[in-house]
Amino acid sequence: MGSKEIKEKKVFLSLVGTKGMGISISSGPTQQPGIYVSNVKPGSLAAEVGLQIGDQIVEVNRVEFTNLDHKEAVRVLKSSRSLTITVLSGAGSELFMTGEERLAVEARRELDRQELMQQKRVALQTNKIIKEQQEKERQRKIEISQKNAEEEERYQKEMEK
């Protein structure tokens, strides 16, 4: 739940002949303001179009929801039988997690962090080995070039005799 990518999604709902869309909304906390889907009734119109708990509603029928209070958001949602809703899917999913889900997300993050640290250690080790091999190769080339120079010198002395 917590590592899901946040994507903007647009859904269209026609509430004609229905009892409603089947969602509850909540305002986010001060550190994460906005209007969020806090509940989705199974089998509802909202569920059918893919709205999920934690989706942040950013716009309804061209009305910005970013700075709207709860009361005004409800009014806009109920003002029309035809709705075009733009959400950031999963943007507030952590706001509506159970303690157990939150712990699972934290555990997953920790495992991911440890895996990244391990990959970093392996990369550093590999880099060190490559540098050592490059240095040995450089030394070998220097030795070969010195031996060639010595050979050339001996050859020149031989030719002078």
CA distances from 71 to 74, 76, 94 (A): 5, 9, 23
Q: What are the residues whose beta carbons fall under 8 Å from the beta carbon of 51, sequence distance 6 or more?
A: 11, 21, 23, 37, 40, 85, 87
Structure tokens at 133: 């091999």
Q: What is the pLDDT of residue 102?
A: 81
pLDDT tens, residue order, the chain (161 aa): 444 678 999 999 998 878 889 999 999 988 889 999 999 999 999 999 999 999 999 999 999 998 899 999 999 999 999 999 999 998 988 888 888 888 888 899 999 999 999 999 999 999 999 999 999 999 999 999 999 999 999 988 888 87
CA distances from 152 to 9, 45, 139, 155, 159 (A): 75, 89, 20, 5, 10
Q: How far is residue 151's CA from residue 147's CA, in Å, rounded to a whole number? A: 6
Q: What is the pLDDT of residue 1?
A: 44
* DSSP string for 112-143: HHHHHHHHHHHHHHHHHHHHHHHHHHHHHHHH
Q: pTM of the full predicted structure?
A: 0.61
* DSSP string for 53-85: TTPEEEEETTEE-TT--HHHHHHHHHS-SEEEE
Max alpha carbon distance in the chain (Å)?
113
Q: What is the pLDDT of residue 101?
A: 82
